[in-house]
Chain A
Amino acid sequence: MDAESFTALALRVISREATDDERRTLETELASAPARREEFEQLKLTHEILRVTSPMTQATQAITPGLPAYRANELRTAVRQYFGPAASRGKNPTPFGEWMPAMRWLFAGSGVAALGFAVVLLCFANRSVEIGLYGTDLMRGGDKTLSAADVPTARLVTFDKDAPFDQWQNQPLAWNEHAKIWVDNEHDLLYIVRRVRHGAVVTETQPLAPTNEGQREQIKQVVDALKN
């Protein structure tokens, strides 16, 4: 059997196209010429490799069919499941690129810290209480009148003239001020201007105690109440 006839016969057997007679002929040929066994194996291997891989190489050139529209959502769902919600994925790269997560963490942390610090500052700051009074009252009352030692948590603000005292009374509470107190001797009232919830400011009055000593105790109690 010549080489070409042998190869053609071998290929028919390999590709399952051979008849029983052809199979027997090939078996006889392989038995009588052992060198052809290797040739047969090589042809079989070539056929197997190409049979598997050539359809794959052809697939690289495929341009049809198009993706069925009704399968698109299925694929989008897979993308969302894998990458997470779309909102967390930037379409355009940011100037900070891969540093963004760290930047976000840093700024988010700093933001929270700054906010917390501001709240704490506000909490402490708005506890300040001012007590306005005439300087002459302090001197006249002697040891029975109010002194800084009586109200260590408050600040005494003294005035020598009516105008600045009136101005102090009428001006709104400063951002860091919780309350201010003053004595209205003309009307025998103790004025208390203080912050309440949500930053609202209220003005209250109490009948003034008749004695200097009583007034001192009254103011001390009001200051203590405001601090608490």
Chain B
Amino acid sequence: MITLATFFVFLLAGLPIIFLPILASISFAFERDAVVLFETFLVQSVKGIEATGFLAIPLYMLVGEIMNRGGITERLMRTSFRIVGGFRGGLAYVNVLTNAFAAAILGSATAQIAIMTRSVVPEMERHGYDKRFATGLTVATGLLGPIIPPSMLMIIYGVLAYQSVAALFIAGILPGLLVTLFFFVTVGLSRKQLPAVETPTETASTGSSVVLDALPVVIPATIIAGVVSGVMTPTEAGAIACVVALLLSVFIYRSLRWADYVPVVKNVILASASVVALIGFATLLGWVLAYEGVPRLLAEALSSTAVGPICFLFLVCAVVVLLGMFLDGIGVLIVIVPILLPLAQVFGIDPIHFGVVLAVATLTGLVSPPVGPGLYIAMDATGLSLMQVFRGAFPFLVAFVTALCVIILFPDLSSWLPGILGL
């Protein structure tokens, strides 16, 4: 109880999120008189990141950073505009489709929201869209990042649950497309928010420009082909994707110079440090909780309440969404996967399907107050208040949660594709 109170007080007081698991671990060890654990705290944090799968994280971040330097957003927007730009509210559809394409390259929701709110929102505003609607839509569509492969959350789940990251990547494709479809429908239903007349964006459509703009799709194609064929592990696919991204940026787009080298790598270091260090510290918290038998208590409570696999999954989602409102998504995964995966297997739930459900459920926390880092990133980029961004995102969040319910009710959405590909 003291730990919980300490956690919430310091969270709301503004202690950096990355240090919250350390504080909670120290507080919990004090509360339970387990100070003997202190000496191995740093060791446990380092051990938490020593999994080969986590090597993929900086690699995929590097791919995203290299492509971002090459103006990938504009290229993907132009490609999307050629596909869906002709409809009323074309830019809103372009936003959804661009985010779906970018998701296949960036793999991180926060990175995607940060990039897209700075590039797509001003463009939509210029064409007469309400700023709150444009920002809310961009924040919500950024959630596609960790569902459509490659995905940081799937990598982390795969490592924690000892599941094939390749299978998880492929399992995310259909749910990702489903969420995209739900976003399209929500845009279609938001007719009041769409400007009546939209000035068409200048889009050069010579054959070579169409090919050049669509070329970044080679990167996810390389990753998926590599892991599905079994030729490469996801980490190795990440390394090859880095080479492809470099070749594209240096020789074809000519957008990367030597002078960009240190800034690019520095951005990757900072971004991956905030993810990987959080993994380490959250592992520490998970370890302290496990030492005191908390997982067993939670597991017993959940198993006595749930009456079947579907009910269990809905309960898990409720817990994850609740935790996600206060804890970073990665922290949530690290703390609950070791607790809930064995129970999920008792209920006969496919671990791959469970991973997809957890990843999608975890994402709702990213755009839910008070923590919701996605909201804060959008606030920073657009100057809107927390509640303005949240209100703008709300209809799309409803669509997202509806898609989550569909994924829970139809497990084949996540397990069919890996099954037919023999993963």
Is chain B a partner of chain A in the same complex? no
Chain A interface (Cβ < 8 Å from any Cβ of B): none
Chain B interface (Cβ < 8 Å from any Cβ of A): none
